Amino acid sequence: MLGRDYFTAVAPIGHVPALTAGVIDLTPSLKFKKSELVSALSISPAVGAAGYSEITLAGTYAVGDQIRLTLTSNLESRQFFRKSFVYTVQAGATAVADIASAIAGLIDAVAGIDSPIASATSALGVITVTQNGDDKRGIVVVDWTDSAAGTIAVATTQTVYSEGQPDDLRDKGVAEADIDRATFDTVRIELQAEAQIPFIDSVGATAREIYLYVDATTGAAIATLINT
């Protein structure tokens, strides 16, 4: 899509955009020449699921062995998040379940609203670190240990992006009164609106993107109307 700016529009329930005399009515009050709507992409509703990493401890750890998990993320801000969690195996707690529980406690202590980490839990030697939110990916985990017989394995399940849910519309700035359905199809439209631009090398248009929210199952037909 072209243009760094965007705006949103919500079509009323039952409204189906149509092409009439070269003009498409995205909503009853928002109409453009078809030539200004360059392309469109329809996205069906999807319930999001936050990504998570499972860190499996196995083998035999000895007292004094060290384990380091380094988590990196750019989920919450432009400032890169990087934090290492170091644990030294203690006497009387060398079982992988005990070690995993202790490390999960260290990680969970920094979880929260302003953290890329939503939670860290453990079960039977497996630490599960879940990222905060389902709109991006995510958290990267790098593992290290100096143990001679203990092992670490990291497996990541990527985020399933949330699409067309009420929270997605709120994130885009849609007014609460317009969020009147349980789910929406999202149609991302490249708009090149005709404009009087007084430069010799201009093409007489400004580029923006429209996030059009419509009844579920209708987005594909709207995208086809624009693209053909």
Mean pLDDT, range 84-104, rounded to an integer: 98
Q: Is the pLDDT at 193 greater than 80, yes or no?
A: no
| Each residue's pLDDT tens digit, 19-29 | 999 999 999 99
Q: Lowest-pLDDT range, 56-70, 72-86, 155-169?
A: 72-86
Q: What helix, strand, coil percent values describe the chain, rounded to 5?
A: 15, 45, 40
- Structure confidence at residue 24 (pLDDT): 97
The pLDDT-based confidence of 45 (bands split at 50, 70, 90) is very high
Q: Give pTM, 2 decimals.
A: 0.74
pLDDT of residue 156: 95
Average pLDDT, integer, range 214-228:
96
Task: Compute the average pLDDT of residues 198-208.
Answer: 62
Lowest mean pLDDT among 68-82, 92-106, 190-204: 190-204
Q: Contacts from 119-125 at CB under 8 Å and sequence distance 24+?
A: 122/97, 123/97, 124/96, 124/97, 124/100, 125/56, 125/57, 125/58, 125/95, 125/96, 125/97, 125/99, 125/100
Residue 226: per-residue pLDDT: 97
| pLDDT for 75 | 78
Checking if the pLDDT of 203 tops 90, the result is no
